[in-house]
Structure 1
């Protein structure tokens, strides 16, 4: 355990099943090493586009099929029951993202809220693009749903959402979830073990090595 707490920038998207699958394990890894998590919700489509990535519907059919295989494998491996095709997915996660940003800006702890959002989409099949559903989930987490919905519509939060995107791109993030430790990007929930190793060892961050 490091004497000085380390910070992890957590770039995530509520519409990503991989973020859902990794969330609890990532938070547990951070807690084991007393790492401070900075929650940074991002609009996934625009981050994909900047790195040449394609939205799911435009990917090659074999890539789409393989994604479905992987989701089934990880569902079994992790013992997490969820819907691979939830009723309200794909959904626009922007409003929920902005509610999270508003909550953070007002000093609220969103750790109790995130599992409810993820389980709402992937397990309970709730429509987390619906303002009333979002407010109810916030209330269930002990946060003021109506107030946060109103705050989510402000120019301040819009600007913060765009800033999150720019921060992601500046960090070389191209998908979600991405965990950034000391500038080193760990992309995907299947990299949590490697992140855990880096936290445990206290090693210096790795950087891309360009060919001489």
Structure 2
């Protein structure tokens, strides 16, 4: 079996942010490579029956805020529960992450910076100026990366991620896929770790 974990996520997801560093540390400890696969939840939800936050029942919305506080404390990370620029369209950030990954750049660091921009600093990650500042801080060519993120190959790759996510069984962010087995949510990292340690045959739906 390939020692690769496919990481499906979007930069608008607080759960992806909460689990980001823990997941990457886990993969590194188990000596697995990570394949970064940003996806549009709008597309995934439409195909798999998910609902955007604003359309969920108030009880579910309220519980989400409780869980965010629990996990913020558990992971010991800063997180603003209701940032100024949320909901936000994450597609620019998602496509930039793909462009950075294609060039072999620091995609993990880029995504973490975007997560913090949105969920800590309350910045609008859909703005070119915010993205430019993040890219420059990482020592990347902002003009070239922003341009590449809008070009056909990256746009097509982004669309392919949506189709492959749905085909694989991904329906939310983050999802970690190991040898075809989906682990949905950063609260499944212990189960993913056990699967990596055991090297077992993947579970599948009966």
TM range (shorter): over 0.9
- Partner in structure 2 of residue 62 of structure 1: 59
**Aligned pairs for 1:171-182 within 5 A:** 171-182=168-179
How many residue pairs match? The answer is: 206
Does residue 189 in structure 1 map to residue 189 in structure 2?
no
Does residue 110 in structure 1 map to residue 107 in structure 2?
yes
RMSD (CA atoms): 1.2
TM superposition score normalised by structure 1: 0.94
Does residue 92 in structure 1 map to residue 67 in structure 2?
no
- Partner in structure 2 of residue 199 of structure 1: 196
Distance 2:193 2:140 in 1: 30
Q: How far is the alpha carbon of 1:105 from its aligned partner?
A: 2.1
- Partner in structure 1 of residue 5 of structure 2: 8
Q: How far is the alpha carbon of 1:108 from its aligned partner?
A: 2.0
Q: Would you say the 8 A contact 1:5–1:36 is kept in 2?
A: no
Distance 1:24 1:109 in 2: 14
**Aligned pairs for 1:37-186 within 5 A:** 37-186=34-183
Distance 1:59 1:169 in 2: 21
Q: Would you say the 8 A contact 2:26–2:193 is kept in 1?
A: yes
Distance 1:8 1:173 in 2: 13
Distance 2:109 2:60 in 1: 34
Distance 1:45 1:128 in 2: 17
SS at match of 1:111: helix
CA deviations 1:116-141 (Å, max 9, x no partner) are 11111111112111001101101111
SS at match of 2:201: coil
CA deviations 1:19-41 (Å, max 9, x no partner) are 00000000011001100100000
Q: How far is the alpha carbon of 1:5 from its aligned partner?
A: 6.1
Distance 2:167 2:151 in 1: 25
Does residue 31 in structure 1 map to residue 28 in structure 2?
yes
SS at match of 1:112: helix
